[in-house]
Structure 1
Amino acid sequence: MERLVGTEGSTLNSYEEIRDWRQTYIKDVSTDHDKLNSFHDEVITATVKCALDYVQRERGNPPAPFAFFLMGSAGRFEQSVFSDQDHGIIFAGSQGFEDYFLTLGLEITVGLEVVGYQRCDGKVMASNPLWCQSLSNWNQQVNDWLTEANWTSLRHFSTFFDSRVLIGEDSFLEEIKREALRIIHARPELFIRLVENVDFIKKGVGVFGQLLPGAHGEQSGKLHVKQTAFFPYVNAMRLLAFKEGILAPSTLTRFKEIKADYPSMHRFEDYFMKLLDFRLRFQQDVVSYDEAHLIAMAQLTKEDKKELKLLMKKGYELFSEIKKVIDNECSAWS
């Protein structure tokens, strides 16, 4: 990867040094979506390598090839200025290697927290045995999630599917995803369950066309942009990725890959790109992860409100159209 801000990340020897490097340069890339996410990748890569160095000093070299992968907004290359942690580890060979890789996963989690990435509230991190397993156990776990097909297991699966390898063996993650898609396509009823799993959308626009800010607590007078604006696009394009066998986690890449077969869906790509830019415009003064997804109504001009309402409505429209495609095809399969 071409470095955006110099070569410091390759020479930093502690989490504190990486944290200072991140704080020094992140403002320089905070208005450009691609540069910002590339910088996050650089920072996380430097942190993981530092963690691996610490563990190797105590435990020796990794006992098997492995893949460290990102999920969530990091997996989709859609992080904003502040982000929490969503990551896992897949390792080859025996489950007897679990202790080593869980130790590495915990060290990575601690390091990323020091650097500035808040721990995931749902514990979707490589320090959790659920997200740090051997390749064979990962395949079994994903199979189990799809067999159980309850709300929690399908939520875990959707989280997992928005993933990409940052360090290590790309083929491990690809193998698991391909097997998961094979299972889904062999059981078309799973498409309906996957739609149901994300079918609730927190509305940001009321029946009279007004924006709907939160009414209580820290969200009072603020819009939760992640839930009301981003989720409809992200969830819709993930569902279409399941159907079309698209392995790429990025929403923008998914848009590009369906362009030929779904031109009516592809037209929503521009709205999603505008939403990414809109979010960054209002994050320049954000100082914590808790603030990262909230925009105060008082910050918005009349034109800002008009633009945001349009972007939200287009997300709802996209989700509705993709839901109809899946419903119609599942009816044909039954």
Structure 2
Amino acid sequence: MNLKKNFFQDLIKQGKLKEIREIRLAVVKKMLDEGEDADKISCRISQFNEQLIQCVCSYFANSNSWLSTCTFLEFGSGARGEQVLSSDQDNGLLLADHLRIDVHELDEVTQRIVMTLDGAGIYLCPGKVMLSEAKWRGTWQEWREKIIFWLENPKERGSWQSGLILDFKPLWGKKNKAQELRLEVLDTVKKHPVIFRMLVEEILQYRVPLSFWGGFILEKKNNFSGINVKKSVLAHIVNAARLLSLKYSFLETNTLKRIEWLINQGHITEDMGNHLIALWKWMQLVRLKNSYFETDQGLVNYLNPYLLPKEEKKLLKKRFSVLQKFLDLVLTSTSYGL
């Protein structure tokens, strides 16, 4: 379903945000019913959200001309093109160096932007990673300083934020400065082995959910026991692929494109890469289906592997073992030659 930009603009002007949510659901349902791969569905959701964000920003810029001098930054899964229906907002605002604006007006306009996105189905971030927060706004130099500070001081940012501040892209506004900012940040990481090593060590914070004896390691969520496929599986694939790609100066943000590049360059074997791609698609499809069908949204990221057919359980264990070998490879290869 291809939507013209003025279609979104008309709905936003009329305040028909529920209709936008329903259209997104219909797009995902159609793709799930047709058996599309997880990467294609996630890409389509991300494209839908990008188009929506661009229209919302343009709508508010019509009555707030200063906004056109700024850049909307998208972080994390949105920047990688890997969103699901339950993906919330992870964004910021790059302010023009010369901008002079009353902070109350800045707060009001950015708050209206995030609330409009929330109403249209890109929900508020529980961690408040949104441009309505002063922490997630700044000039080029201010952004550079705060991102480097966060990278050098993990306790100040929280380990979860490395995927946000290293994977970002401009969605609306002047894009050159944002692209320069990301290149500057990545170059700084490469030039400082201590920062890189701290990022590598973050991979160890969540273990692959497979015991020494080959059993699945489950965690409890409410009355449900299962694997958190986002934190315990996908995060490993995303983070390790990012770090190994960064080591070799490959700047693409999408996880599967990173893995494909690592295969083509001979940094990982084709067999390992294919298992990783298949595992990513499998676990992401679990999240996509759960985000559409699961009534308890707290369980969107969970899978009970013991409910799978015998052959699927066996295959999942094999792919978890390959994932562990990939992590070991990344930990070893990024410890030397920096």
TM-score by length of 1: 0.84
CA distance in 1, matches of 2:113, 2:272: 37
Measure the CA separation in 2 of the matches of 1:98 and 1:182: 34
* Residue-by-residue CA offset, 1:91-144 (whole Å, 9 max, x unaligned): 322363484554443223212322223322221122222222222211222232
Aligned equivalent of 2:21:
19
2:225 corresponds to: 221
Counting only pairs closer than 5 Å after superposition, residues 153-192 of structure 1 correspond to structure 2 as: 153=157, 155=159, 156-192=161-197
Q: What's the CA shift for 1:272?
A: 2.9
Within 5 A, what are the aligned runs for 1:136-285? 136-146=141-151, 148-153=152-157, 155=159, 156-214=161-219, 216-218=220-222, 220-264=224-268, 267-279=271-283, 281-282=285-286, 283-284=288-289, 285=293
Q: Please point out which of 283, 286, 311 is paired with 2:294.
A: 286
1:51 and 1:104 in contact (8 A); partners too: no
Matches within 5 A, 1:13-52: 13=12, 14=15, 15-30=17-32, 31-52=36-57
Residue pair 1:22, 1:115 contacting (<8 A) in 2 also: no
Distance in 2 separating the partners of 1:90 and 1:254: 26
- May I ask how many residue pairs the two structures share in their alignment? 324
Aligned to 1:117: 122
**Secondary structure at the residue paired with 1:206?**
coil
1:302 to 300, 310, 331: 310
Alpha-carbon deviation of 1:27?
A: 0.6
**Structure 2 residue 139 is the aligned partner of structure 1 residue 134:** yes
Contact 1:56 1:62 in 2 (8 A): yes
Q: Secondary structure at the match of 1:327?
A: coil
Q: What code does the residue aligned with 2:168 have?
A: S
Distance in 2, matches of 1:267 and 1:217, equals 34
* Structure 1 residues without counterparts, runs of 5 or longer: none
Residues 219 and 125 of structure 1, relative CA distance in 2, 3 Å threshold: farther
Q: CA RMSD in A?
A: 2.7
1:297 Cα deviation after fit: 3.9
Within 5 Å, give how 1:54-69 maps onto structure 2: 55-56=60-61, 59-69=63-73
- Cα drift, residue 305 of structure 1: 1.5
CA 1:131–1:158: 2 relative to 1, 3 Å: same
Q: TM-score, normalised by structure 2?
A: 0.84
Point out the more displaced range, 76-85 or 151-160.
151-160
SS at match of 2:87: coil
> Is residue 82 of structure 1 aligned with residue 86 of structure 2?
yes
Q: CA deviation at 1:294?
A: 0.7
One-letter code of the match for 1:21? I
Separation of aligned partners in 1, 2:330 and 2:60 = 45
Q: 1:79 to 1:272 in 2, by over 3 A?
A: farther
| Counterpart residue identity of residue 208, structure 1 | W
Aligned to 1:329, what secondary structure does the other structure show?
coil
Match of 1:329 in 2: 337
2:281 alignment partner, SS class = helix
Structure 1 residues 288 and 62, CA gap change in structure 2 (3 angstroms): farther
Query: 1-side partners of 2:124 and 2:252: how far apart?
Result: 25
Contact 1:73 1:79 in 2 (8 A): yes
Residues 154-184 of structure 1: CA deviation (Å, up to 9, x unaligned): 7334421112222233322221122123322
Q: Equivalent pairs: percent with the same residue?
A: 22
Q: Secondary structure at the match of 1:268?
A: helix
Q: Distance in 1 between matches of 2:327 and 2:107?
A: 37
